[in-house]
Amino acid sequence: MSVDKVQLDMLAIAAAAADAKGGEDLVALDVSAPLPLVDIFLLVTGRSERNVAAIADEVEDQLLQAGYKRLRREGRQESRWVLLDFGDLVVHVFHEQERVYYGLERLWKDCPTVAIELPERTASETS
């Protein structure tokens, strides 16, 4: 099974939300072949627990506002690795150290990546 428009829309919303809160090193993996219930993993890195929490909250808020239903959320209290399960899309927001330690890219290296298109930032947003 391949990724369709709905999953790509979810990915675009989640990636834009993560980027808006300073999420770094965004990687989307098409995990639809090995996992029957999930199509895309979005991996995001935050610089601190506070940043991880802010990224996860913004992603969740934006996806809920767009009408998508959250099935599960884990790790929000510690904010070292927050998992947001929206069915077809699972968002993993990691603290830098956890991202390296757990190495999901390495575990899912056989899965193709999905292109992420982020909104252009204006000069005032980058300074």
Does residue 47 belong to any structural domain of this protein?
A: yes
* Domain membership flag for residue 96: yes
CB neighbour burial string for 52-89, b if at least 16 within 10 angstroms, e if fewer: bbbbbbbbbebbeeeebeeeeeebeeebbbbbbbbbbb
What's the whole-model pTM score? 0.91
Taking the C-alpha atoms of residue 70 and residue 25, their distance in angstroms, rounded to an integer, is 23
- Residue 88, domain extent: 5-120
Q: Check pLDDT > 80 for residue 109.
A: yes
Is position 9 within any domain?
Answer: yes
pLDDT at residue 15, as a whole number: 97
pLDDT in tens, 66-77: 999 999 999 999
Would you state the structure tokens that stand for residue 34, as one six-digit string? 């090995």
Q: Specify the number of domains making up the chain.
A: 1
Identify the residue with better confidence: 111 or 117. Answer: 111
Q: Is residue 126 one of the residues assigned to a domain?
A: no
Residue 125 lies in a domain: no
Question: Do the domain assignments include residue 127?
Answer: no
> Which uninterrupted H or E stretch holds 82?
strand 81-85
CATH label of the domain that carries residue 42: 3.30.460.10
